[in-house]
Amino acid sequence: MLRFTEEHEWLKLEGDIATVGITTHAAEQLGDLVFIELPKVGAALKKGEGAAVVESVKAASDVYAPVSGEVTEVNPAVVDDPTIVGGDPQGAGWLYRIRLADPGALDSLMDEAAYAAFAK
């Protein structure tokens, strides 16, 4: 199940773990990424709070937690090479995985069609 936020994050749910990253639209708006800061494994995140930072030659942007839960894994490859996020933001450029505190939280997020309309 793929869901999106108004802050241009995406998440893909598998069981009770969601993989999170920035959308293709966000990556295109940011341009060339030069730095990424990820949350710590084990961190408890609340929906809407800053979870990560992506920095491009244009600007630095917070990546907000789309749901509340505990960070179970981060993607060290994007820290070593931030261009992975720009090249494949909704694939190899994922940022972190989070165990959902409340699976019902997904109900407030957009599906692909709604996000596509929103991002225009």
CATH number of the domain residue 31 falls in: 2.40.50.100
The predicted pLDDT at position 84 comes to 96
Residue 12 belongs to some domain of the structure: yes
Residue 112 belongs to some domain of the structure: no
Q: What domain count does the chain have?
A: 1
| Residues in CB range of 102: below 8 A, 6 or more apart | 67, 68
Residue 111 belongs to some domain of the structure: no
The span from the CA of 5 to the CA of 117, in Å, is 12
Residues 12-46 have pLDDT tens digits of: 999 999 999 999 999 999 999 999 999 999 999 99
The span from the CA of 71 to the CA of 51, in Å, is 9
Residue 16 belongs to some domain of the structure: yes
State the alpha helices, DSSP H only, in the chain.
24-30, 76-80, 83-87, 112-119
Residue 106 belongs to some domain of the structure: no
Residues 77-104 have pLDDT tens digits of: 999 999 999 999 999 999 999 999 998 8
